[in-house]
Amino acid sequence: MVLLAGGVLWSILGGMPYINSLRSKWEAQRLQDQWEKPYREDKYGGKTPEETYDLFLAALRKGDTTLASRYFIVYKQDNWLKTFQEYQSQNLLVNLISELEQNRKFWNPQKRNDEEVSYTYSYTRETPSTTELPISGGKTQKITLPAGKFNAETIFSKNMMTNIWKISQL
């Protein structure tokens, strides 16, 4: 009986590191699955960066700010949703759409690979202008935009889990 109890005790003590190892691996996998879930479930985007941009603009034209925000990379979607809703509440969405459509006409591909595509474009502002941009809570901030020639960039990243393109910088 003593030998049997000793054998059981030895098995338990010897098996604990193995059991703890299995538990740690299970916990790590659970956390990774939880972190990856929004990326695996993300279905908003196109097969090309250009298709994603077209879908994004179409959503904005319909006034669907929630859908428009879904074309951005996952961790930026909430911020863009708030921004678009502010633009919409200030009746500035039409101006934004017009600017985005105009900018696309001047896209110049800079970097293109299987995971990221970058387009630069130049634009000229003939005279300084003052505009009010929504910030939050229905408030706006006046910004003076100087005259001159400027460069900007739009960047797309591929969600490798779903093979769709997302806007990462606008």
State pLDDT tens for residues 93-137: 998 899 899 888 888 888 888 899 999 988 877 888 777 776 777
What is the model's pLDDT at position 17? Answer: 74
What is the model's pLDDT at position 15? Answer: 67
Q: Rounded distance, CA 36 to CA 155, Å?
A: 22
> In this structure, which topology does domain 42-169 adopt according to CATH?
Nuclear Transport Factor 2; Chain: A, (3.10.450)
User: In this structure, what are the phi and psi dihedrals at residue 14, rounded to the nearest 5 degrees?
Assistant: -75, -30
Is the pLDDT score of 75 beyond 80?
yes
Q: Rounded distance, CA 149 to CA 152, Å?
A: 10
Measured N-to-C along each axis, helices 49-61 and 93-104 cross at an angle, to the nearest 10 degrees, of 160
Is the pLDDT score of 56 beyond 80?
yes
* pLDDT above 70: percentage of residues in the chain: 96
What is the model's pLDDT at position 74? Answer: 93
3 state DSSP class of 142 = strand
Is the pLDDT score of 58 beyond 90?
yes
